[in-house]
Amino acid sequence: MSNASWIPTRKWLVTQITAATALVGAWVGAGGWDRTLTIALIGLISQAAVSYLTPNGGQPDGSPSAGDAPATLAAASAPAG
């Protein structure tokens, strides 16, 4: 049995609230619901689903892989050019 939780993380919830607030702001700014807002809503729903289903780390339980952090740090600290 996996230790992974199906409960959304606080980070996921905050990003969904931010996206929904942006959609509501666009709705108010547009003065009414239209086709463009429907397309934006579909995008909001699809990104929420994908980000919920994608694990946070390299392992099936969401924990980072042993080589993930050093490779990321090495790439970030490498001089440009």
In a domain, 70, yes or no: no
In a domain, 18, yes or no: yes
In a domain, 66, yes or no: no
Domain that holds residue 18: 8-54
Neighbours of 15 (CB within 10 A): 15
Average confidence (pLDDT) over 2-23: 88
Contact 23, 30 (CB under 8 A): no
Q: How many structural domains compose the chain? A: 1
In a domain, 64, yes or no: no
In a domain, 80, yes or no: no
**pLDDT tens readout for residues 19-59:** 999 999 999 999 999 999 999 999 999 999 999 998 776 66
In a domain, 47, yes or no: yes
In this prediction the pTM is 0.63
In a domain, 26, yes or no: yes
In a domain, 76, yes or no: no
